[in-house]
Structure 1
Amino acid sequence: MEAILYIAHGTRSKKGASEAIDFIERVMNRIDIPIQEMSFLELTKPLINEGFKRCIARGATVINVVPLFLLAAGHIKHDIPQTLSSLQADFPHVEILMKDPFGVQEKILDAAAELVRNSSGQMDRLLIVARGSSDPDIHADFSQIASGLKERLGIDFVTVCFLAAAEPSLQQGLDNILEEGTGIVFVLPYLLFSGLLSAEVEREVNRRKKAGRLIQQTGPLSQHQAIEDIVIERASSKKIVIF
């Protein structure tokens, strides 16, 4: 019997964990498969091992793993596959099929651009805030994301900063883009859910607002219906990756 195991990142933020759980439950309600379980890579329960074992306890012999990750960095390339490989060794009779992360795709760029337009009204410059990674593929992905949003929003200045593991940092990115002119700056946290990282972005944006700077931001990407639709497409797709 087939099952779906959703894997989100996890967070220490109660608000972020609640958002992720509510999101996954909405997805589950739209998919006609009896065995569906959620799990988290870290910081939020249930973890992957527990979610996996719940699927088996409910009779699963094929587990379709659906990672709720925007891009393919270390967690997708190493951490999740390692955990699944260990589980495969413990449960050799269970077939594990892992789906792709979201990747850079038109639907997400369209959704991100709509979130920005609906929140800002008018802007001159856009700062995309990424989680951050030392993986070079992530930097190539964000180059595409920046170009795609620049085209969709019709603005000349779009740049990217990172919350960890890469430069420029959030503080550097904000200071740099604010120095580029006097018009309205808009900040797009390229994150699926709220959490400690999005709270950090909000703090830095509010600090500059209090200093009189013209700056606004949007919420996480999962606020747009298109993200939920994409997860359902991923869960229903027959395409897999080998771990």
Structure 2
Amino acid sequence: MNDKNAVVLFGHGARDPEWARPMQRTRERLLALAPDLQVELAFLEFMQPTLEGVIDKLTTQGVRRIAVVPMFIAQGGHLKSDVPKLVAEARARHPECEIVQALAVGEADSVIAAMAAYAHRCVTAPLT
């Protein structure tokens, strides 16, 4: 059994390509933490690649477990309806692969703590 794993950092997308820079930086940091992990970016709209395309590519490369990590602040409409549908369709296309959808990254306790600490620094220290 192949045990290749991958993470897909999944964002909404925007018309301005600079919008994706924090996701690219997150990808770089994740690869520094786990150099053997395959980490890809995917977008819901406006930008490429799509989630469908990335998952199809990863499964062709032998990946057998994919964690889709929504790079959203909260579980809004897209994450409650659109993304589960995309993930379900991917599971149907690739039954040999375990595909899981994480909660929105902004709902993780550690991320909330980091956002609160940042907001606190904004009032107590010079902004950089």
TM range (shorter): 0.7 to 0.9
Change (3 A) 1:20 1:6: closer
Alignment partner for residue 102 of structure 1, among 100, 105, 114? 105
What TM-score, normalized to structure 2?
0.78
Match of 1:78 among 55, 77, 81: 81
SS in 2 for 1:93: coil
Hey, what does 1:52 align to over in structure 2? Answer: 55
Per the alignment, residue 61 of structure 1 pairs with 64
Greater RCO (Cα-Cα under 8 Å, separation 6 or more): 2
Q: Aligned partners of 2:116 and 2:10: how far apart in 1?
A: 26
Deviation at 1:104, TM superposition (A): 4.4
Supply the RMSD in Å over aligned alpha carbons. Answer: 2.5
Runs in 1 of length 4+ with deviation above 4 angstroms?
103-106
Q: Does structure 2 retain, via aligned residues, the 8 Å contact 1:36–1:55?
A: no
Going from structure 1 to structure 2, the CA distance change for 1:13 and 1:38 (only over 3 Å counts) comes to same
Change (3 A) 1:53 1:72: same
TM-superposed CA distance for 1:103, in Å, is 5.1
Residue of 115, 119, 122 corresponding to 1:119: 122
CA deviation map 1:158-205 (0-9, x unaligned) = xxxxxxxxxxxxxxxxxxxxxxxxxxxxxxxxxxxxxxxxxxxxxxxx
Q: Which runs of 5+ in 1 are unaligned?
A: 123-217, 220-243
Q: Is the contact between residue 40 and residue 48 of structure 1 (CA under 8 Å) also seen in structure 2? A: yes
List gaps (5 residues or longer) in structure 2: none
CA distance, structure 2, for counterparts of residue 105 and residue 38 of structure 1: 19
Cα distance change, pair 16–95 in 1 and its aligned pair in 2 (3 A) = same
Matches of 2:47 and 2:108 in 1, distance apart?
Answer: 28
User: 1:101–1:19: structure 2 CA closer, same or farther, 3 Å change rule?
Assistant: closer
Instruction: Give the conservation status (yes or no) of the 8 Å contact 2:43–2:49.
Output: yes
Larger radius of gyration: 1
Equivalent positions of 1:132-147 (< 5 A) are: none
| Residue 35 (1) aligns with residue 31 (2) | no
Instruction: Indicate how the Cα distance of structure 1 residues 33 and 70 shifts in structure 2: closer, same or farther if over 3 A, else same.
Output: farther
Task: Give the total of aligned pairs.
Answer: 124
The one-letter code sitting in structure 2 at the alignment partner of 1:67 is P
Q: 80-89 or 18-27, which moves further after superposition?
A: 18-27
